[in-house]
Structure formats: C-alpha cells, structure tokens
Amino acid sequence: MTTRRELLKAGTAGALALGFPAIVKAQSAAIKIGHLTPMTGFLGALGVYAVKGIQIAAEEINAAGGVMGRKLDVMSEDSVNPATASTKAQRMFEQDKVDVLMGEINSASAKTIMQVADRNKRLFMQIGARSDVLRGKDCNRYTFHVDIPVTVMVNAAGQALAREGYIKGKKIYFLTSDYLFGHDLAKAAKAFCAANGGTVVGDELTATDTTDFSPFLLKIRQAKPDLVATNLGGNQVTNFVKQYAEFGLPFQVAGFNLNTADAWAAGDGNLAGIWPTVWHHELDTPGSKAFVAKFRKIHGQPPENHAWIEYVSLKVMAQAMNETKSVDTEKLIKYFESGAQFDLLKKRNGYFRSWDHQMIQEAYPFSVKPKGQAKDKWDFLKFGAAVPAPDQPLESINPPKSANACVL
C-alpha cells in the first residue's frame, strides 16, 4: 500500500521535475474571500452597491500584484435573511475553504454570521451592519466592525438637529423599523433626545416589509409633533419620505439612518430634514475623488456609501494580510487590535478599538438642497462637516467602554 508520505514525496518530485516546486504552487493559490450581502429584499439595493464596491477593490488589488503575490478570489452571494446568511457562512468555511468572511448589511443576519465565525474560530469582517449590540453584548473576538454604529449615527444627526433647535423643548414622534437594527437605533435616539431636552410623543413599530405608511401618517397628523424622526432601514425610508411628501404634512422630518441610495430613490423634492451618513461622494480628499471617478467611469453614476465601505474594507483586509504576511486568523486579529491605521479615503485615518473591534472614524450629517438646485439626480444632498470636529478625538462620538457590554 502506498502511504500518504510516499504520495507527497512523489507529488513533490514530479513538481520539481517539471520545474514547478509544490511550495510555489501552494503560495500562488488564490486567497479566498467569502462575501455575504443582501442582494434581494428590503436591503437589496444597498447590497448591489456593496458588490460593485468590493469588485473594484479586488480588481485594483489583483492588478497591483495581489496580496503576498497571490490573487484575491472574492465570492459574493446573497445573504437575504438571517437563516440563509448563517447557512452560507458555514458552507463557505467548510466547503469553499474561504480564508475570511466579509460583508453584510442586515444587523440580524450579521449576528448569525458572527456566531458562525465564533464557532469556527475564523475571522469575519462585518462591514455594513450598524446595530450597537453587535459590538456590545453580542460581540466576539473573531468579528471586526467597519461601519459606524447606531449611536454614532444618532450623534452625527442629533448634534446638527440640536444646533438647529429641533430637540430642546420639542415634541418628537418616532417611526421605527421592527427588527434588531431599528430597535437599537430607537433606543439610542430616545436617549439622545431625552438628554437634550426633547419629549417623545409617539413611537410606532413598522414591519420591514411595510410599503404603505398612510396609517402612521394619519397618527402623525393627529399628534402634531414638532419633529418626525425615523429609525427605518433600507427602502422603508424611501417609501416613507415619498408618502410623507404626498400627504403634505407640515412637521419637520429628520432621521437617524439614511443610505444615499435610498435618498436618491426618494428623488429631489421628496426628501427634507437632517440625516447622518458615514461617507458621501462629495468628500473632498484625493482618495475619495479617485474612487468616485473610477466608479463613475465603470457604472455611469457616483458610488453609494455601501460601495465605498466595501471598497475600503477589502483594502483594509489586504493591508492586514500584507503586513502580517499571513491569512491566519490569530495573526490578523493581533494586527487589527494593534491600533494600525487605515486610509478610509477621509481626512483622518481610521483604526479598530482593541476592546470592542469597532472601526473608529469620522461621520457626517447632511441636509437637502432647495428643490431645483441639483445638477443631476444624485446631487440634491447637502453634505455637512465631519463629526467629531478636527480638534476632537475620533472616539468622542462612540459609546465609551463604560457604556458598552462587550467582553471579548
């Protein structure tokens, strides 16, 4: 009987005879990235941008020689819901033999992928889900979070709202998406409003598949609030602001979550108020300008914030692999926890906190230009100044360790 050792020797000898040592072949094998993101459902439009962003990053990295001389093979699949996300994550580790997992936007799906990563003791870079609990009580040492958490979103929009006089002494009516992300967002938003002198006069939970908001709009009309604040996700925001405009209600509208794709879908003249974002295509840095120009050339429009964040996240992962000269989970965790700096195409670099694995970075508020001032259908948002201010620590808008239940 031929032993495993004899087979390995024969394979090595054959490779050497051909002039291609087996070790060279092993080193040249592609690095496999398992990429999960919703491409259908109420977050599907955002996931489509996510795929476009990570594809551009992979093409750039591979064209520049890859990572450690190896190409990146990014396998993008639709995560659609938590059960599917969990099943695909496990399959990617077991059958597809991916080196790391990346992606996700839905907070409930991200939670299930995090559990898979923890069980398998493998790395998951959680890119686009924002729920506080993911980097709080549900955190684990195998997951790192790139997007800003809901508390940062609330602080970014809330500070602007407070400056404009929409919080102190005002009656506020909340509309909240009924899933993990919405619940977390409402909790943070209520805390901010209470701390700044606002009074909550209504809080309605809406199913993620809600398309008709007229029953809620009738309640808002009766309540007569000073501010309508939404804690909605995905295309819920688009549907709500369109219907709000149709109802012609006079109350100020704002929100603690909005992705630019949902704003664009609402259309010029339908969106109003103050909202938060993690990035915008008008950001004036050389890196952002170059990325926007490339995306426009390929896709004929500016990139949405999920395209940007997937793009920079793969660049962050590639940097870590190159610096550690490894795809080993433990070595990558150690590198990310070291305080290493990452170019996020913003004016200030970002870094992961070692104790909750959250990427610390700038956030921004934005408002809406008066109707008719937009140069094109993507130009009606008015981008605000970064928060925190340049002379303030980046961590100042993030939940401090004393208020975070994360134990890694």
* pLDDT given for residue 213 in this prediction: 97
d(CA 236, CA 200): 21
* pLDDT given for residue 28 in this prediction: 66
pLDDT digits (tens, 9 = 90+) for 161-176: 998 999 999 999 999 9
d(CA 372, CA 395): 38
* pLDDT given for residue 18 in this prediction: 46
Instruction: Tell me what the mean pLDDT of segment 134-151 comes to.
Output: 96
Closest CA to 312 of 260, 362, 263, 376: 362
d(CA 131, CA 160): 21
pLDDT digits (tens, 9 = 90+) for 184-203: 999 999 999 999 999 999 99
pLDDT digits (tens, 9 = 90+) for 283-306: 999 999 999 999 999 999 999 999
* pLDDT given for residue 141 in this prediction: 98
Instruction: Return the axis-axis angle of helices 305-324 and 44-63, rounded to nearest 10°.
Output: 40
pLDDT of 27 over the 80 cut: no
Instruction: Tell me what the mean pLDDT of segment 24-45 comes to.
Output: 85
- The confidence band for 13, taking pLDDT boundaries of 50, 70 and 90, is very low
> What is the percent of the chain where pLDDT is above 70?
93
Residue 321 and residue 347 in contact, taking contact as beta carbons nearer than 8 Å? no
pLDDT of 45 over the 50 cut: yes
Cα dist. 104→162, 252, 290, 324 in Å? 32, 32, 25, 25
Instruction: Tell me what the mean pLDDT of segment 328-341 comes to.
Output: 98
* pLDDT given for residue 263 in this prediction: 87
Closest CA to 152 of 361, 381, 407, 398: 398
pLDDT of 315 over the 60 cut: yes
Q: In the 8-state DSSP scheme, what is residue 96?
A: S
pLDDT digits (tens, 9 = 90+) for 203-260: 999 999 999 999 999 999 999 999 999 999 888 989 999 999 999 999 999 999 988 9
* pLDDT given for residue 11 in this prediction: 46
Mean pLDDT of the chain: 92
d(CA 207, CA 214): 14
Q: 3-state class of 74 per DSSP?
A: strand
Domains (range + CATH), the chain: 23-148+283-360 (3.40.50.2300), 151-277+363-403 (3.40.50.2300)
- The confidence band for 39, taking pLDDT boundaries of 50, 70 and 90, is very high
* pLDDT given for residue 31 in this prediction: 98
- The confidence band for 23, taking pLDDT boundaries of 50, 70 and 90, is very low
- Taken in order 45, 46, 51, 55, the sign of the CA dihedral is positive
Position with higher pLDDT, 384 vs 101: 101
Look up tokens 């998406």; give the residue. 177
d(CA 310, CA 56): 9
Residue 10 and residue 22 in contact, taking contact as beta carbons nearer than 8 Å? no
pLDDT of 321 over the 90 cut: yes
